[in-house]
Structures are given as structure tokens and as C-alpha cells.
Amino acid sequence: MTFPSVSVRHAVLLVAVLVASVAVILALSVDSCGLSHMEILRGLDTYHGTLDPELCLDLLDDIYRFNDMCSPSVEIIDCG
């Protein structure tokens, strides 16, 4: 039984794509504190631009959840 000829370049490219795919899947499936913190910071930037009260309440829920699971904690915002 013979295998079709595959160039080394194609084999390396295939392995690189597989490794990158696995890395992306793992990064998206793991709820890491670093990713959550960056998401909260991005949300805070958006909130300060819009001052949308509904967005503030959503951010507050995310901050409480983050502070329960991760360290250091994020300061609680005033949605007043």
C-alpha cells in the first residue's frame, strides 16, 4: 500500500493549522480570568462612551461574577 506523495511544505502547513485550531478551541472553551478581565475592561470603555444604564447593569453582573471567581477584583461601578 503506497501513500500519495505529500510535500514537506504541505505537511508542515497542515500540522500548523491543526495546532492553531486546537489552540483557538482551547482558548475559547476555557473561562479564564484574563479573558474575562479584558472583556470587562472593553465593556467599561463602551459604557463610559454611551452611559447606557442597561449596559451598566450587565457590566455589574459580570464584575460580581468575576470578583467571585478571580483575583484581583474589579472595582464595583455606580450605575446610579
Is the C-alpha dihedral spanning 16, 22, 26, 27 positive or negative? positive
Question: How far is Cα 55 from Cα 43, in angstroms, rounded to an integer?
Answer: 8
Distances (CA, A) of 50 to 40, 45, 47, 60: 15, 9, 5, 15
Comparing 41 with 11, the larger pLDDT belongs to: 41
- The pLDDT of residue 71: 84
Question: How far is Cα 54 from Cα 74, in angstroms, rounded to an integer?
Answer: 19
Query: Model-level pTM?
Result: 0.60
Model confidence over 15-59: pLDDT tens digits? 889 898 887 777 666 668 888 899 999 999 999 999 999 999 999
Q: Mean pLDDT across the stretch 58-67?
A: 94
pLDDT at 7 over 90: no
Instruction: Map out the domains of the chain as residue ranges.
Output: 8-69
